[in-house]
């Protein structure tokens, strides 16, 4: 085998989404054909923390040599064959510090960036391509600041990474939400009920608003705007009475809050390494209140509720067309930057065109729905006004 131009490493972090494997394939195909060696780092940032560079026997557990055959098979599928984690090397709890580093890093929270840097050097990495959301990519920024040649690829179902109009996984999430909500309508109609569907969206409501705009629901609730549950009940009763099949539908972002609520609804108190508690349950709360309040607006008669969290149903399975094409393009963009010797960039879609922006953008202004432009607060539904010169997904660009 001839001499390589250099070594590129790829990792995926955070939640899995359809489109990660096509992105890995896009990077690897181009890189190998340009003469680079490609390594896959398994389990995201955890792979670069847990690998013991002084123990050659454990290398295969954390580092995988990527070939065209390997990525071609995986590139048609969902998830990430490199696996993923929510590890944050800059703030690692002592309980999850690897055994071989326990004595050296004994604080309650530990910054293992020095170990990550040594592991990257030991692997001979010339460029590191990190695929993830703003939490994963904020650590990529840290490594860029430490002098590592980093290129970032945005991924998140919520589509809320600043600096890009599109994040891998978003289109499949919207597609599945529309599909599954429409399928659930048969149950709601058969029993003349309200249908409450909880979807992803911690801080940004794109995953509820766009399906509602496409006709998947009568009303939608988003994190950017608190809602009054009595008003919602009144609207849903009216929608139900207007529907010949006697049901109505509301999509609820997991981060939506009732008026007067102090915080979002969480499944428990446990936090991940980024300080996030696991969201989930606002749909349960709303469903219960709808049932209680419905007699007030329905001539004294209660309306029962079908309540469904979509959660992993929109994460699993194969990517749709957009999440097969965009990741391939993002991977190719990343190699364009490598070939030019440019690092510290986030590949992006902006105003309908592929581009890249400084990686510092991932720590910029939060990307959320512009309520004044796209959400009718009184009607709890999208605004349908001019879309002239708007991007494919309408309200997902940054001004």
Q: What is the distance between the alpha carbons of residues 342 and 333, in angstroms, rounded to a whole number? A: 11
Q: What is the distance between the alpha carbons of residues 120 and 128, in angstroms, rounded to a whole number? A: 9
Q: 45, 4, 123, 27: which is closest to 338 by C-alpha?
A: 27
CA 373 to chain centre: 24
Q: What is the distance between the alpha carbons of residues 116 and 130, in angstroms, rounded to a whole number? A: 14
Q: What is the three-state SS of the chain?
A: CCCCCCEEEEEECCCCCCCHHHHHHHHHHHHHHCCCEEEEECCCHHHHHHCCCCCHHHHHHHEEECCHHHHHHHCCCCCCCCCCCCCCHHHEEHHHCCHHHCCCCCCCEECCHHHHHHHHHHHCCCEEEEEECHHHHHHHHHHHHCCCCEEEEEECCCCCCCCCCCCECHHHHHHHHHHHHHHHHHHHHHHCCEEEEEECCCCCCHHHHHHHHCCCCCEEECCCCCECHHHHHHHHHHHHHHCCCCCEEEEEECCCCECCCCCCCEEEEEECCCCCEEECCHHHHHHHHHHHHHHHHCCCCCCCEEEEECHHHCCCCCCCCHHHHHHHHHHHHHHHHHHCCCCCEEEEEECCEEEEEEHHHHHCCCCCCCHHHHEECCCCEECCCCCCCCCCCCCCCCC
Q: Which residue among 135, 158, 160, 239 is the active-site one? A: 158
Q: Decide if 126 is catalytic.
A: no
Question: Is residue 202 exposed (0-12), middle (13-18) or buried (19+ Cβ within 10 Å)?
Answer: middle
Tokens linked to 14:
């955070």
Q: Would you name the residues annotated as active-site residues?
A: 158
């Amino acid at each position: 085998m001839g001499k390589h131009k250099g070594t590129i490493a790829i990792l995926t972090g955070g939640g899995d989404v359809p489109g990660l494997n096509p992105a890995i394939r896009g990077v690897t195909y181009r890189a190998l054909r340009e003469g680079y060696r490609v390594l896959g780092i398994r389990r995201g940032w955890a792979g670069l923390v847990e690998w013991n560079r002084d123990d050659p026997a454990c290398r295969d557990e954390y580092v995988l040599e990527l070939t065209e055959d390997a990525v071609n098979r995986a590139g048609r599928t969902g998830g990430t064959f490199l696996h993923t984690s929510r590890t944050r090397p800059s703030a690692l709890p002592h309980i999850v510090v690897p055994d071989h580093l326990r004595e050296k890093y004994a604080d309650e929270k530990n910054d293992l960036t020095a170990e990550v840097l040594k592991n990257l050097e030991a692997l001979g990495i010339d460029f590191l391509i990190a695929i993830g959301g703003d939490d994963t990519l904020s650590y990529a920024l840290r490594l860029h600041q430490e002098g590592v040649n980093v290129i970032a690829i945005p991924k998140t179902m919520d589509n809320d990474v600043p600096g890009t109009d599109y994040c891998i996984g978003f289109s499949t999430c919207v597609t599945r939400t529309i599909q599954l909500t429409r399928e659930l309508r048969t149950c709601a109609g058969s029993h003349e009920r309200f249908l409450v569907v909880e979807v992803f969206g911690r801080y940004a409501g794109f995953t509820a608003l766009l399906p509602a705009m496409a006709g998947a629901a009568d009303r939608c609730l988003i994190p950017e705007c608190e809602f009054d549950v009595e008003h919602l009940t009144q609207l849903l009763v009216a929608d139900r009475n207007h529907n010949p099949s006697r049901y109505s539908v509301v999509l609820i972002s997991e981060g939506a809050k009732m008026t007067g609520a102090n915080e979002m609804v969480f499944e428990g108190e446990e936090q991940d390494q980024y300080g996030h508690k696991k969201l989930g349950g606002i749909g349960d709360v709303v469903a219960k209140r709808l049932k209680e309040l419905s007699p007030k607006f329905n001539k004294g008669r209660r309306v029962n509720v079908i309540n469904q969290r979509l959660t992993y149903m929109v994460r699993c399975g194969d990517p749709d067309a957009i999440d097969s094409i965009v990741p391939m393009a993002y991977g190719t963009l990343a190699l364009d930057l490598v070939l030019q010797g440019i690092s510290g960039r986030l590949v992006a879609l902006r105003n309908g065109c592929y581009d890249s922006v400084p990686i510092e953008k991932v720590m910029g202004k939060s990307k959320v729905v512009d309520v004044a432009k796209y959400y009718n607060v009184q009607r709890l539904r999208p605004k349908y006004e001019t879309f002239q010169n708007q991007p494919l997904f309408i309200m997902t660009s940054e001004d």
